[in-house]
Amino acid sequence: MSNLKNKKVAILAADGYEQSELESPMKALKDAGAQIEIVSLKSGEIKAMKDHQWSNSVNVDKIVSESDCADYDALLLPGGVINPDALRGNEDAVNFVKGFFKANKPVAAICHAPQTLINAEVVSGKKMTSYKSISADLKNAGANWVDEEVVTDGNLTTSRSPEDLPAFNQRMIEEFSK
């Protein structure tokens, strides 16, 4: 499967990302031929959470304050509880996300990751899903929240949790290959 050959995808994450929600989509993207860059708030490494414990780390390729959405074809936002909270509080990260929406580039977000999208002010009027505990936040921000495995509305694909990763990965590859 090489339908993402010549596509460059940013994975925006910070310490506390959900391990499976970064590693599984990253593997799917690489298997489809995409070039991946981990973009974060700091250089070095960022650490995952798995089963509410600190876990693996990944190397950061670029810091978000020095990144431009124009350099990428698509954006992946993994979830976790700590990760999106750190991202949504960072002006550079929020502006980076906004850039993908202004350029109508595909964005995929899973679990708690849509919290960053709320701060980027890009969810109003969008049909989307997420981890159930943030459904009220999304509704209050104007999203049409639904409890479905994976939802695509325009350039945005969302999913609920690690259990949905197979469907999320498949849809993300389809959307990123357009």
120 SS3 class: coil
Task: Single out the catalytic residue among 112, 126, 160, 171.
Answer: 112
Buried b (16+ CB within 10 A) or exposed e, 56-65: eebebeeebe
111 assigned to active site: yes
How many of the other CB atoms lie within 10 Å of CB of 152?
Answer: 18
What does the DSSP assignment read for 59-114? E-SEEGGG--GGG-SEEEE---SHHHHHHHT-HHHHHHHHHHHHTT--EEEETTTH
52 assigned to active site: no
Task: Single out the catalytic residue among 11, 34, 94, 111.
Answer: 111
Catalytic residues: 111-112
